[in-house]
Structure 1
């Protein structure tokens, strides 16, 4: 027998993750786990989404699922010098709409950030830092046949050979997707690069709540945000295990039977700092932001 845990990601938003029998027994006999998905990018405020894991015998629909979001926790982020208590904001147009956000503290490269979540009688903690930014060098919209109305985006960047780097590629279709979505096979370990000059094709990720049928490519006229993020080994292991669940399970709702990696003490999920480079592209026209 297995348990189903609810993991809230800002990118795929809701993923059902199969957990071990031991976790199932613990959930039935004790309390559900607190699920954390938190991030801080350089130049931006910290953001955290909280939920409770869902037992396998629970009835879940578009209404009851909101009962598992946590909106009354005390969430604090510290950089060793300053500390900020995050406030819950309701962001219309995205699911889940409840995000704990900072307003003063901005992420800085090289700094460490400690997350502390206090909810009822539980305390959850995690630590992360923001690695160096690796800029996107160029992006191009490529078609197999010039007469096609669809194609793939290709990007280029230069890996820092004197640094150990882990990457994630994300995209967001303007006016279609409210959040950035991880590209399929977009989690990269630089030990697999054959050159410091990296060129690759982006395969769109699966956005769970899309109103249109999934397609791995882009279409003429699409306005696309492309983001290259650097992250820690812990972040890479988390997102790589997530990617394996999507690919092996063949469904973003019911992935395969292994649990996702986590760097959260007292809960499950991820707290990760990111360096990021983002460009805006429409067909072959690109603009760095």
Structure 2
């Protein structure tokens, strides 16, 4: 079985606390959406039902909650496209709805409509302007070390409100881009328009024992700087806060992750994106 990506949304639960724990078991499941469209790419959506908090989580449970018979329509205001379900073994659940007609463009609005049984779920997003990732560098604390960190540089546009997310992917090791720890950025916190910062490697599998937040000699690292709107930033920031506070973001104990989905849970997000690669030194 392929590795579990950071957001297996099929395991995201309804918001509940200890007082209504018993009641939550009987609550009707919600439809959970992980959907996105990047500048220069086609829309993708992963769809599932939420799992009650008392249910044991394993691969069988996850597959049983995947939704494979929904009608998913994406529109850019001029055209509509019905996404097609395909199997992708690099993800769990291994089923993704893909588009191949509507290409993401900066500045455009994209609506999502999901029809499943008697339910209709909707969301809208915009692709923000792309900010170019100027440079990404692999740096070691000691030249003799076999591990190091990535430092990135970019210019935050002056007089514009921007939100960012930094993600990384290690070639031949990670099938998808993974959000970096503390990689969700609000430009209110920047002290200068010229941004330079260290990137800590994020977790592909959650939870993962003995996780190391650095990169290793021999890695081919892809670094992506995403621009996103406030709703997507709030979603990813709530996910980040769950990790920082030591809770499981897949099924948080007291709160659900922020969402922009009407009639369900999860996220439908548009991203501007700029990607660079780093080839680290060969292993000795």
Same fold per TM (> 0.5)? yes
Q: Kindly indicate whether the alpha-carbon contact (under 8 Å) linking 2:36 and 2:268 is maintained by their aligned counterparts in 1.
A: yes
Q: Is the 8 A contact 2:6 2:203 kept in 1?
A: no
Greater displacement, 50-59 / 132-141: 50-59
In structure 2, distance between residues paired with 1:213 and 1:185: 19
SS at match of 1:63: helix
Residues 13 and 208, structure 1, Cα contact 8 Å, conserved in 2:
no
Match of 1:20 among 7, 16, 30: 16
| Equivalent position of 1:222 in the other structure | 219
Any gaps of 5 or more consecutive residues in structure 2? none
Q: Deviations over 1:86-108 (max 9, x none)?
A: 00010123222111010111000
After TM superposition, the structure 1 stretch with the greater mean CA deviation from structure 2, 204-213 or 263-272, is 204-213
Farther-moved stretch of structure 1 (171-180 vs 116-125): 171-180
CA distance in structure 1 between the aligned counterparts of 2:179 and 2:166, rounded to whole angstroms: 6
Q: Helix, strand or coil: the match of 2:59? A: coil
* Alignment counterpart, residue 119 of structure 2, candidates 107, 119, 122: 122
1:198 aligned to 2:186?
A: no
Shift of 1:212: 8.5
Q: For the residues of structure 2 that align with 1:200 and 1:208, how far apart are their CA atoms? A: 24
Structure 2 CA distance for partners of 1:56 and 1:153, relative to 1, 3 Å: same
Give the aligned partner of residue 231 of structure 2: 234
Which of 144, 154, 162 is equivalent to 1:165? 162
* TM-score of the pair, normalised by structure 1: 0.89
Deviates more, 1:264-273 or 1:247-256: 247-256
Q: CA deviation at 1:163?
A: 1.2
Aligned partners of 2:141 and 2:170: how far apart in 1?
21
Distance 1:71 1:277 in 2: 32
Partners of 2:124 and 2:20 lie apart in 1 by: 24
Q: Is the 8 A contact 2:14 2:52 kept in 1?
A: no
User: Which ranges in structure 1 are unaligned for 5 or more consecutive residues?
Assistant: 1-8
1:39 to 36, 39, 45: 36
Contact in 2 for aligned 1:177/1:210 (Cα 8 Å) = no
Equivalent-residue separation in structure 2 for 1:11 and 1:43 (angstroms): 23
Structure 2 residue aligned with 1:131, among 112, 128, 132?
Answer: 128
1:140/1:284 contact within 8 Å kept: no
Partner residue in 2 for 1:88? 85
RMSD: 2.3
| In structure 2, C-alpha distance between the alignment counterparts of 1:50 and 1:24, rounded to whole Å | 25
Q: 1:49 to 1:182 in 2, by over 3 A?
A: same
Q: Which residue of 2 aligns with 1:154?
A: 151
